[in-house]
A and B are shown apart, each in its own frame.
Chain A
Amino acid sequence: MRGAAAPVARWRRWNRAVHRDLGYLCLGLTLVYAVSGVALNHLHHWNPNYRIERRELPFPAPNPDAEMGEVVRRALALVGETRPVKSTFEPAPGVVQVFVEGNTLWVDLERGTLREERAAERPVLYFLNGLHLNRPKGGWTALADVYGVALAVLAVTGVLIPGGRLGPTRRGVWLTAAGILAPMLCLALR
């Protein structure tokens, strides 16, 4: 009896050790993917990458002979923008777009309005979302692949840790089935 139990005990020790150490290794990446996953899951509710502030102001009609440069100068002064202009564009007659790093102005000369859109990256989330979407490519792709395999190993070794009444063949079978059923249902209802 003791002879048969020894390999099982040894196997269980290894399984627990693999699960424990992979868990430590994967903690950081799991948090990265978890936080950015929730953030990206709600793209229809908010913008997880940028904090955007929009406002519309009246833009007094300039002199009909005013040149583009004058319109741009007045628009920048109206919103208190002092950074250098990257470029300008006329999407339609009487409409001027002014691009500044992190700020875009739309001047509608006919309607007499100025729309401003200031965008700033959310410092942590922009970075985490970039990792989630594999923006760095290259080495990050390889690391993310290894992480994916490690997650699968974590899941399997985790299920095999408990035994008896709480083991994978008793209580575990129902919870595992419920977890598998959710994506299967989505597939069926697609």
Chain B
Amino acid sequence: MSPRTVALALALLAVPAFAATYGSGVNLTTPTRVSALLADPAAHLGQTVLVEGLVVDVCAKRGCWLELASDQKHQTLSVQVPDGVIVFPLSARGRVARIQGVLAEVPRSAAEEKWGWQRGPAQPPAPRYLLRATGAAIP
């Protein structure tokens, strides 16, 4: 086991013990893998799920969204919160977070639709999924 794996495992163990909680916190105990959510989002739409992963970006102005790294390479899950209900701190970047919320499908913006159309009219743009967080625990 590499030192990085050991460090990540220790960080994951430490999350519930020392994490600051946001919103209504986290009460589910078994996390769903981000890759599993994104592989079959239709099966999880509208469900409350717990996800766990490295925070790789945070909204710098309002703290109203963050990007969570998936267990699969080069994949992330967008997490959003209503403005002011939860404010994610910038210091969450690079930390392992546990986030509870409801998986939602969001319509793509007009610009995204146009971009998708230009890339290939035969293939409509894929729907976009994000987690609407109700609570989080971030060490």
- Which A residues are closer than 8 A to B by beta carbons? 43, 47, 49-50, 52, 86-87, 89-93, 97, 99-102, 104, 119, 130, 133, 135
Contact = CB atoms under 8 A, between A and B. Distances in A.
A104 B91 contact: no
A25 to B, nearest CB: 26
B76 interface: yes
B91 A133 contact: no
Contacts of B90: 49-50, 119
A92 B74 contact: yes
A86 B95 contact: yes
A86 B94 contact: yes
Nearest to B11: A87
A47 B94 contact: no
11 contacts: A50-B90, A52-B60, A86-B94, A86-B95, A87-B95, A90-B73, A99-B56, A100-B94, A104-B94, A119-B60, A135-B87
Contacts of B91: 101-102
Given A86-B94, A99-B94, A133-B84, A91 B74 contact: yes
A49 B76 CA distance: 26
B95 to A, nearest CB: 7
Contact of A91 (B56, B60, B84): B56
Contact of A93 (B8, B62, B74, B87): B74
Nearest to A119: B90
Given A86-B95, A87-B94, A119-B90, A47 B84 contact: no
A43 B61 contact: yes
Contacts of B74: 90-93
Interface in B17-61: 54, 56, 60-61
A87 B60 contact: no
B131 interface: no
B73 to A, nearest CB: 7
B69 interface: yes
A91 B76 contact: yes
A52 B95 CA distance: 19
Interface string B89-125: 0110111100000000000000000000000000000
Given A43-B61, A99-B93, A104-B94, A89 B54 contact: yes
Given A86-B95, A89-B56, 20 more contacts: A43-B62, A47-B60, A47-B61, A49-B90, A50-B90, A52-B60, A86-B93, A87-B54, A87-B96, A89-B69, A90-B73, A92-B74, A99-B93, A100-B94, A101-B91, A102-B91, A119-B90, A133-B84, A133-B87, A135-B87
